[in-house]
Structure 1
Amino acid sequence: MAEDAKSSPASGGNFSLRIRGPRDFYGGLVLVALAVFALWAGSDLAGMRGFSFGPGTTPRLFAMLLIAVGAAISISGLFVDGPPIESYALRGPAFVVCAILVFAITIRGFRFSFFGFPVKLPELGLIASTFMAYMISVMGGREIRWTESLIAGAIMTAFCVVLFRYLLQLPFPLWPTF
């Protein structure tokens, strides 16, 4: 009987927190970490002043919302039974990260020094950058249907051109500049 009282949480004994839904718990933590990174990355942007939004207001609001959602998902992983994490599938996220980096580098060009030699990657423009990023992200899947991927990539590229260049009138170059 003394043994039971010793291990109960109320008596200050050994208490272990059991994660009942590991996917939800760890997925929520990843969202919180991503939001904290976004807050840090946008910390030098001006926030709200009076009633006018600064360039950092919307990213901060979305990051705070993502922290709240990620925390709620993590907490639900503590109390609601869920499937275990079977294996880490890093192929998809790795290709998506690569696609984002390729888009960021190719949309505006990139200059760096390689063993003292200047190297310049040219601007490829919105059309080539979007299509390349889409096709790289497609390679993260296990089953790749190239015909459907090429068609979907062309549609996505056309949508991005219409949205960013003509509707939002952002000054992205459409074609490569060499």
Structure 2
Amino acid sequence: MSDTPSHGPVKYIMPKWIRGPQDFVGGLAMVAIAVFALWASSDLQGMRGFSFGAGTAPRMFAYLLLGLGAAIAIVGLVKDGEHITTYAWRGPLFVSLAILSFAATIRPMGLIFAAFTSFLIAALGTPETRWKQTIIVAVCLTTFCSLLFPYALGLPLQMLPKFLIR
């Protein structure tokens, strides 16, 4: 008998004619996003002569994404590729939460608080975070944003929370 554990047969859910499942599924996902973008921009004004309308750029990028997604899906059909791997949700989850946190706190709490906390939330997206370095970078980036947006770009952003400004 062998000392190594026995693994049963791996159940494969993709048809055999799909040689690169990860490319194929990724291409289909890109096609689905492109179709959604085309549908969402269908009621926007398009291009008239040489003048761009509000829907020109979204439709142009959607058609490019559609073509690229179709090409990647075709590559998944004709070329051997990797099987579908597991997806790491931690990074995208915390970056999305950081964006939502920034959107929710920028008006009531000001730029300084919103930028600093959203950076710290995004840093939770990896277990390799070193908190001393993260806080130093967060302070530097918050300072940079606090100087860039209101002073260099002239955007009227509130810097501090509303309850501190009277």
The answer to whether TM tops 0.5 is yes
1:149 to 114, 123, 134: 134
Alignment of 1:72-87 (within 5 A): 72-87=71-86
Q: Which residue in 2 is equivalent to 1:57?
A: 56
Specify whether residues 153 and 26 from structure 1 end up closer, same or farther in structure 2 by C-alpha distance, changes over 3 A only. farther
Deviations 1:28-85 (A, max 9, x none): 3333333444445555554444433344433333333233323322222222222222
Residues paired across the two proteins, number? 149
Distance in structure 2 (CA, Å) of the matches to 1:170 and 1:96: 24
Unpaired segments of 5 or more residues in structure 1?
Answer: 1-15, 109-122
Q: Which residue in 1 is equivalent to 2:103?
A: 104
Aligned partner of residue 66 in structure 1, secondary structure: helix
Specify whether residues 126 and 77 from structure 1 end up closer, same or farther in structure 2 by C-alpha distance, changes over 3 A only. farther
Q: Which residue in 2 is equivalent to 1:21?
A: 20
Query: Counterpart of 2:126 in structure 1: which amino acid?
Result: G
Q: Which residue in 2 is equivalent to 1:138?
A: 123
Contact 2:31–2:69 (CA under 8 A) maintained in structure 1? yes
Distance in structure 2 (CA, Å) of the matches to 1:102 and 1:71: 35
Comparing both chains, which one has the higher relative contact order based on Cα–Cα distances under 8 Å and sequence gaps of 6 or more? 2
Specify whether residues 150 and 35 from structure 1 end up closer, same or farther in structure 2 by C-alpha distance, changes over 3 A only. farther
Specify whether residues 105 and 164 from structure 1 end up closer, same or farther in structure 2 by C-alpha distance, changes over 3 A only. same
Specify whether residues 147 and 46 from structure 1 end up closer, same or farther in structure 2 by C-alpha distance, changes over 3 A only. farther
* Residue 145 (structure 1) shift: 1.8
Q: Which residue in 2 is equivalent to 1:33?
A: 32
Contact 2:18–2:78 (CA under 8 A) maintained in structure 1? yes
Unpaired segments of 5 or more residues in structure 2?
Answer: 1-14
Q: Which residue in 2 is equivalent to 1:128?
A: 113
Contact 2:120–2:134 (CA under 8 A) maintained in structure 1? yes
Query: What is the TM-score with the length of structure 2 in the denominator?
Result: 0.64
